[in-house]
A and B are shown apart, each in its own frame.
Chain A
């Protein structure tokens, strides 16, 4: 009983995370930004998991213009459409996506070294 008394006053809601994520977009809705090494000092940035409603081509166009790099949208059989950009643009992309209001910062996962 005393245990119970001690525990109740805490304002911690154990379901807060789950509720928030469920209400927002589902817990699996991370946008993954990855980087891949190519030959030499070249690299490739991939953006995966953007919402289907967005027009990938328009986003890509702005990204390309913003970072002065080339890029493409590839169709992956499992993951759907993925944006590829030339060079290591991870920070740029995440800043852009947050700033444009496409994704929230909590839902971006930056991978790679």
Chain B
């Protein structure tokens, strides 16, 4: 068929047979007559009216089929489906049935039109949920409206033209009023938003003679400060660490790829970071040729991230000013952390591996 699957298409076939006398050959050229009426806006009886569920466009084709049978029992029973299109063509042209022709054409048109309208389907759904889905037409109109507002005017016009054929004029008039109202509303909203955008630039106390509030003034000061010399505004530029990239080497080893990178961003010796990582994870590991950290065991990037977070808290961040701009130095067997920003220093605990249980096979000798 030529209809797209977006549309729910149903066909109702009513077949009647009529006996004709074969001894008086009439001018009948056809053995069967089909009267086809395609309803583009069919509704399922009461189904989508009240419930407001997913809106499916339904197209119903009502087919009245009249078979003319002669007395002679040998009768050509047509295979309906295969011959259908040809038949219909014949019928509509031969019979000169204006309505039928129109209908058929319209269906074709609509089939062409419906497909590009797919995006509106979703909108229709939404609208149905919000709006009281009293009438299909109303919903349709709303959908059209939203479509025209949000996307463009092009498809709307063509669609509307097609719509108007079917709709009762009273309805369209009423609804067009509604349409306009809705459009106005939407326009208003748009304007309001723009207006707010402008208002943001000014100060809230302007135009009124009330007292300034502390928060407002503070905000003003900071805005000015940020505009003129941003480095004084106290906006702490955050040092962003990239997430650890982790590969699996075989099944039992994990490779921490950007280990060196992260060490550099933290300004720490890779050896120190490595000992901390290994102690925390309770495994062994080493740096490989490309300066990646190879760790025994299976670890997710998340695990590394957690441990690195702890490392930064313990060994990188300055306690006084929370700045990561610090130097770790070793003075007679004790590690000291000195902040480059505020100059404060503190001692940090040495890394201790702690207890490591015997895991895996013991040597045969012991």
Residue positions of A touching B, CB distance < 8 A = 32, 34-39, 44, 46, 48, 74, 76, 79, 82, 84, 111-113
**Are A111 and B355 in contact (CB-based, < 8 A)?**
no
| Interchain Cβ contacts under 8 Å between A and B, 24 examples | A34-B355, A35-B282, A36-B283, A36-B356, A36-B357, A36-B359, A37-B283, A37-B359, A38-B359, A39-B360, A46-B354, A48-B355, A79-B355, A82-B355, A111-B280, A111-B354, A112-B280, A112-B282, A113-B281, A113-B299, A113-B302, A113-B303, A113-B304, A113-B306
Give the distance in Å from the alpha carbon of A37 to the alpha carbon of B299 in the complex.
9
Residue positions of B touching A, CB distance < 8 A = 279-283, 297-300, 302-304, 306-307, 354-357, 359-360
Given contact pairs A48-B355, A113-B303, a sample of 20 additional A-B residue pairs in the complex whose CB atoms are under 8 Å apart: A32-B354, A32-B355, A34-B282, A34-B355, A36-B282, A36-B356, A37-B298, A37-B359, A38-B359, A38-B360, A39-B360, A46-B354, A46-B355, A76-B355, A84-B357, A111-B280, A112-B280, A112-B281, A113-B280, A113-B281
Least Cβ–Cβ distance between B352 and chain A, in angstroms: 9
Residues of B within 8 A of A84 (CB): 357
Residues of B within 8 A of A46 (CB): 354-355, 357
Main secondary structure of the interface of B (DSSP, over half): loop
Give the distance in Å from the alpha carbon of A34 to the alpha carbon of B352 in the complex.
12
Residues of B within 8 A of A34 (CB): 282, 354-355
**Are A37 and B282 in contact (CB-based, < 8 A)?**
yes
Main secondary structure of the interface of A (DSSP, over half): strand
Residues of B within 8 A of A48 (CB): 354-355
Give the distance in Å from the alpha carbon of A38 to the alpha carbon of B299 in the complex.
12
**Are B307 and A74 in contact (CB-based, < 8 A)?**
no
List the 7 closest A-B pairs by CB distance, nearest first: A113-B303, A37-B297, A36-B282, A48-B355, A82-B355, A79-B355, A111-B280
Most-contacted residue by chain B among A36, A44, A113 (CB, 10 A): A113
Closest Cβ neighbor of A38 among chain B residues: B359
Closest Cβ neighbor of B299 among chain A residues: A113
Give the distance in Å from the alpha carbon of A111 to the alpha carbon of B280 in the complex.
6
